[in-house]
Amino acid sequence: MNNFKTIIGDYGQWATSLKKEIPALSYRNSNFEALDKWKSKAVDKVNELLAKPTLPEIPTVTSEKKYIYDGLEIEELSWQLPYGRVTKAVLLKPVNANRPLPGILALHDHAAKKYFGYRKIVKTSDDQHPLIQDHQLTDYGGKAWANEIAKRGYVVLVHDTFAFGSRRVHYEDVDGLTFGTLDLNNKTDNDPEKPENIETYNKWSAEHEHVMSKSLFSAGTTWPGVVLAEDQIALSILSERQNVDSEKIGCGGLSGGGLRTVYLGGLDSRIKCAVCVGFMTTWNDLILHKSFTHTWMTYAPLLPNYLDFPEILGLRVPLPTLVQNNNQDELYTLFEMQKADLILREVYEKANASQHYSARFYDGSHKFDQEMQADAFKWFDKYLK
């Protein structure tokens, strides 16, 4: 026994000793020199461990509605995957854009709010749900960031991913899992958009996340693998739009959107520029301190044997990558965020691409505020325009 306390007690130091300081497929290993050869081997291994479900390359996309709001042409889209309810999405672009523009796949957050998906980061009318207003105020400086970057001359696609928004699990479809304390029948009325009904759903779905993850493992897949597969479908849909320059597509997002950027940006070379916000640390941070603060969307069994967490995003080297961190972010320890930065710097330096990587640290808690958005948008402009 010792006095070093961890979230798994005195097993913490033993658990960290199970993984190597430089994992087996890290580009930091001296035995890896040729970038393309290393990348091919590492990407293949990560895809193997994620065990993504096989999906059609591009499903049939339905245009539900078109209108103009906030200086943008907005198109509501939907598509059906082989499982679950219809995926809903919105496409935003500047009014009267008459030439192909760079594209952004804007990735919504987690925030323990699964009732909403893409609606968290867009604004499509003056009649905005009060819970979305509150969320954008606290997490995004009062802005719908997908709208803001579209106004700068981008075609932006925002979609609901697995288990969020239109893709959420409906508890009326689930047998017997009330998790003890939630009275799911004690609602003021049957309006699902009532704030109190949404809050009840979000509490229920937070408990159900453990069940879903275990079931996915039992089915031979992983939560990050499923999300990656669905995000790649959305990326294909965006890439095929006639008004999008498919050679100039970026992705980014806060928190769960940052996590999705790690996997999508790391594993799909169609993402030419990536901005990861509020989701960067090391496996050691998760082992010892912070795994309980994060979604099951983070974890793929055995992956830490091959890459440290930041090295998943580092698979995209030498493509441009910006990581934005908050110094007082309660979801991570500052030391491990800084260590993740050092790891990514080393990867980019070895590939002679230091100029294409940047990590920035901001005062404040978990957020993607207007200052951070301004920096992120300049990064996209630099590499996609």
Q: Flag whether 323 is in a domain.
A: yes
Q: Flag whether 78 is in a domain.
A: yes
- Domain of 332? 19-176+220-385
Beta strands in 154-310 (DSSP E): 155-159, 244-254, 273-277
> Given a cut of 80, is residue 180 above it in pLDDT?
no
DSSP state of 106: E
> Given a cut of 60, is residue 184 above it in pLDDT?
no
* pLDDT tens column, 128-139: 999 999 999 999
* pLDDT tens column, 53-77: 999 889 999 999 999 999 999 999 9
> What is the pLDDT averaged over residues 316-332?
98
pLDDT for 176 equals 74
Percent of the chain with pLDDT over 70: 96
Q: Flag whether 200 is in a domain.
A: no
CA angle 320, 321, 323 (to 5 degrees): 160
Percent of the chain with pLDDT over 90: 91
> What is the pLDDT averaged over residues 27-44?
96
> Given a cut of 70, is residue 329 above it in pLDDT?
yes
* pLDDT tens column, 164-175: 999 999 988 887
CATH of the domain at 87: 3.40.50.1820
Q: Flag whether 133 is in a domain.
A: yes
Q: Flag whether 188 is in a domain.
A: no
pLDDT for 187 equals 53
* pLDDT tens column, 236-282: 999 999 999 999 999 999 999 999 999 999 999 999 999 999 999 99
* pLDDT tens column, 187-217: 556 788 999 989 989 999 999 999 999 999 9
Q: Flag whether 240 is in a domain.
A: yes
pLDDT for 1 equals 46
Listing DSSP states for 36-79 in one string gives: HHHHHHHHHHHHHHHTPPP--SS--EEEEEEEEETTEEEEEEEE
pLDDT for 191 equals 84
> Given a cut of 50, is residue 158 above it in pLDDT?
yes
Number of domains in the chain: 1
Q: Flag whether 165 is in a domain.
A: yes
